[in-house]
Amino acid sequence: MEDKKRLSKVLAAAGVASRRASEELIFKGRVTVNDEVVFIPQTLVCTQKDQICVDNEPIQPEEKKVYYILNKPHGFICSNAPLGTKKRVTDLFTHLPFRLFTIGRLDRDTTGLLLVTNDGHFANKVIHPSSNIQKEYLIKTLQEVTDLHLKQISKGIFIEGAFVKPIRVVKVRKGTLKIVVKEGKKREVRLLVQGANLKILELSRIRIGGLLLGPIAEGDFRPMTETEKQMIFQPSTLWKRVVFN
């Protein structure tokens, strides 16, 4: 059985325009299906068989949306731009038939939880400030972490003219601490720790919202489940003891 959809919905899904704007294109006679002008937005079409054009230009059918959880390896950059000999996160996915991008960024020296997708709407929802999604980082330092270090980090710092302050800071063991932030400005966690005169040995993101990295080896990735997608927008219940707020 053919999978048919409304023409206006197909245009919107292909990124031609919004649903309403796509209807206007159809009303104005700018859309053809198999070389015939169509004026009815509710016309059912099959993207696998029908040739759909807007202003005589074929549209690209909607690509299947995919979502991955990656344990970002050290030395990789979150960019789709050509970088010469530099390694990009998306290079890890070149064997897949999708044009993927990362949701947010981790700097080259940071490892850990990174979301990769081709769904722009989902990505925008995750990174939008209104979602209030927390990110948790595990940091290993050269020196022993003291209460003075924790207090200094908890005070916050200015980054590019904006004041940022962590939500939570806690010592895990002698040379290890965890930091939770919300907005996640560029290199925020790294700068917070360095501002307390601590030398970072390892920095890894271990949580986004209620989603934990889990047992994924560095450089490996796997598909994200629907439940895990929802967990991103849920608060974590793991923090039972907080040293500083």
Between CA 205 and CA 182 the distance in angstroms is 13
CA 80 to chain centre: 13
Residue with tokens 């068989």: 49
Length of the chain: 245
Write the burial class of residue 197 (CB in 10 Å: 0-12 exposed, 13-18 middle, 19+ buried): exposed
User: What residues are paired with 72 via a beta bridge?
Assistant: 112
Helix then strand count (H, E) for the chain reads 6, 19
107 catalytic per annotation: yes
Whole-Å CA distances, 200 to 140, 159, 219, 233: 6, 18, 21, 29
Q: Tell me which of 3, 35, 55, 107 is the catalytic residue.
A: 107
Please list the active-site residues.
107
